[in-house]
């Protein structure tokens, strides 16, 4: 057999160690190189394995170590290095790089956003939150070093960019996540989807947002790396919580229709083709003024030739990244950007950017897998409905 799985295609030779490396290994974590780090792809333990971990997260609560991601703070500081009360300069500067309406972003609110190149290609996708001490960004692990360079190059000198590299990031996802986390930090239950705030767990300071990458209700918790093993232990002491590896993280996000940077989009793909134009706020469509605006705004107005959609296969055989999508006559119309077996769907699923004429739900297509034409149907995303905890109309 030849294992064609190579999560390490583009990585630097030096593989880094996560703060919870020992913690993962002690729990049977099968460590692989991903985004430049040794990370658990699954846990070889009771209840472990990608299928079991995926289904556990959909039914209970899964704990993910996503400390490989980049946590950044963008702000204006006074002469002593403390954040200024007025972060208007940081807001203005960041709006020069992000297509989000940061002026309308209230304290403790999280937005999905993008870093774009001048040509409108996606350099990265990220979450941005307004905090008391500045704007908090969470970017992808594999791209964080390039992001830091891009931000530093394009932010004015009086704007401080801090890489919070002494912080870990844990995600607790699933329908029982709120009970499990509220047992330690009761006030988190008051957060709505895409809201965030500062919390205390005993002496430990936590920054918690109600967000995630599984389509489930859940939280992402930033804390000093030195405290992360204690929190992971405390969460996993709850019988509803199990550690979940990268394998299930990928199948969960695929079922949730959430794109993966470097696969479903990259610097050669614009936000409209990637069906991420919702990340370009209404006001910013009118005013522009962010890197890439000149290229992207016309695309929003007139559309792109292709657009990312879901593909539901009939059978269990997976169509993976790179597989050709064919129309009913067998002519190639696109390429699978990510795909695999959906444990909750119980059939194979995929995503691809298809010509608009075929990017219509219900369209029958084929995917060429090993010379066999697998039938598939174009579908809206997500494949599995999101169960986010949305609060009121303010969302």
The footprint of another protein (CB under 8 A) covers: 1-5, 41-42, 49-52, 54, 247-248, 250-251, 315-318, 320, 340-341, 343, 348, 370, 372
Q: Which long-range contacts (CB under 8 A, 24 or more apart) does 192-195 make?
A: 192/389, 192/390, 192/391, 192/392, 192/394, 192/395, 193/217, 193/388, 193/389, 193/390, 193/391, 193/395, 194/109, 194/110, 194/111, 194/395, 195/108, 195/109, 195/110, 195/391
Among residues 195 and 344, whose Cβ is nearest to another protein? 344
Q: Which long-range contacts (CB under 8 A, 24 or more apart) does 355-364 make?
A: 355/305, 355/306, 356/303, 356/305, 356/306, 356/307, 358/327, 358/333, 358/334, 359/306, 359/307, 359/309, 361/309, 364/328
Among residues 2 and 329, whose Cβ is nearest to another protein? 2
Least Å from the CB of residue 245 to another protein: 10
Among residues 62 and 70, whose Cβ is nearest to another protein? 62
Among residues 34 and 193, whose Cβ is nearest to another protein? 34
Burial of 86 (0-12, 13-18, 19+ CB in 10 A): exposed
Among residues 114 and 376, whose Cβ is nearest to another protein? 376
Least Å from the CB of residue 329 to another protein: 25
Among residues 51 and 155, whose Cβ is nearest to another protein? 51
Among residues 268 and 315, whose Cβ is nearest to another protein? 315
Least Å from the CB of residue 375 to another protein: 15
Least Å from the CB of residue 331 to another protein: 24
d(CA 95, CA 252): 31
- For the CA atoms of 20, 5, 242, 395, the dihedral, rounded to the nearest 10 degrees, stands at 90
Least Å from the CB of residue 252 to another protein: 11
Least Å from the CB of residue 316 to another protein: 4
Do 311 and 377 touch, CB atoms closer than 8 A? Answer: yes
Burial of 56 (0-12, 13-18, 19+ CB in 10 A): buried
Classify 241 as helix, strand or coil. Answer: strand
Least Å from the CB of residue 169 to another protein: 23
| DSSP code of residue 127 | E
Among residues 106 and 370, whose Cβ is nearest to another protein? 370
Kindly state the tokens that stand for 372: 């066999």
Least Å from the CB of residue 351 to another protein: 16
- Dihedral sign for Cα atoms in the order 214, 52, 231, 176: positive
Least Å from the CB of residue 5 to another protein: 4
Among residues 1 and 85, whose Cβ is nearest to another protein? 1
**Crossing angle (nearest 10°) for helices 246-255 and 50-59:** 60
């Amino acid at each position: 057999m030849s294992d064609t799985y190579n999560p390490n295609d583009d990585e630097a030779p030096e593989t880094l160690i996560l703060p919870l490396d020992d913690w993962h290994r002690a729990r049977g974590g099968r460590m692989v190189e991903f985004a430049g780090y040794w990370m658990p792809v699954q846990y070889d333990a009771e209840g472990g394995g990608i299928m079991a971990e995926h289904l556990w997260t959909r039914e209970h609560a899964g704990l993910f170590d996503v400390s490989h991601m980049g946590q950044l703070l963008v702000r204006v500081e006074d002469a002593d290095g403390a954040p200024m009360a007025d972060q208007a300069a940081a807001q203005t500067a960041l709006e020069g790089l992000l297509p989000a309406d940061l002026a309308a972003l209230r304290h403790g609110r999280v937005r999905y956003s993008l870093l774009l190149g001048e040509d409108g290609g996606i350099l990265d996708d990220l979450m941005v939150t307004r905090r008391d001490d500045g704007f908090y960004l969470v970017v992808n692990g594999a791209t964080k070093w390039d992001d830091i360079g891009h931000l530093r190059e394009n932010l004015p000198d009086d704007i401080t960019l801090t890489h919070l590299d002494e912080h870990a990031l844990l995600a607790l996802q699933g329908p029982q996540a709120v009970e499990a986390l509220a047992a330690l930090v009761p006030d988190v239950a008051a957060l709505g989807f895409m809201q965030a705030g500062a919390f205390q767990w005993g002496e430990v300071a936590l920054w918690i947002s109600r967000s995630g990458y599984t389509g489930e209700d859940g939280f992402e918790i930033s804390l000093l790396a030195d405290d992360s093993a204690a929190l992971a232990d405390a969460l996993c002491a709850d019988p509803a919580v199990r550690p979940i590896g990268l394998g299930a993280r990928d199948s969960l996000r695929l079922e949730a229709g959430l794109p993966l940077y470097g696969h479903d989009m990259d610097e050669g793909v614009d936000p409209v083709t990637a069906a991420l134009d919702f990340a370009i706020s209404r006001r910013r469509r009118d005013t522009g003024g962010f890197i890439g605006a000149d290229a992207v705004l016309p695309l929003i107005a007139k559309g792109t030739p292709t657009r990312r959609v879901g593909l539901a296969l009939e059978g269990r055989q997976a169509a993976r990244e790179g597989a050709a999508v064919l129309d009913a006559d067998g002519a190639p119309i696109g390429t699978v950007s990510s795909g695999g077996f959906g444990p909750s769907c119980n059939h194979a699923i995929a995503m691809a950017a298809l010509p608009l004429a075929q990017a219509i739900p219900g369209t029958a297509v084929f995917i060429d897998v090993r010379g066999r034409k697998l039938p598939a149907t174009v579908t809206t995303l997500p494949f599995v409905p999101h169960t986010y905890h949305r609060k009121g109309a303010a969302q």
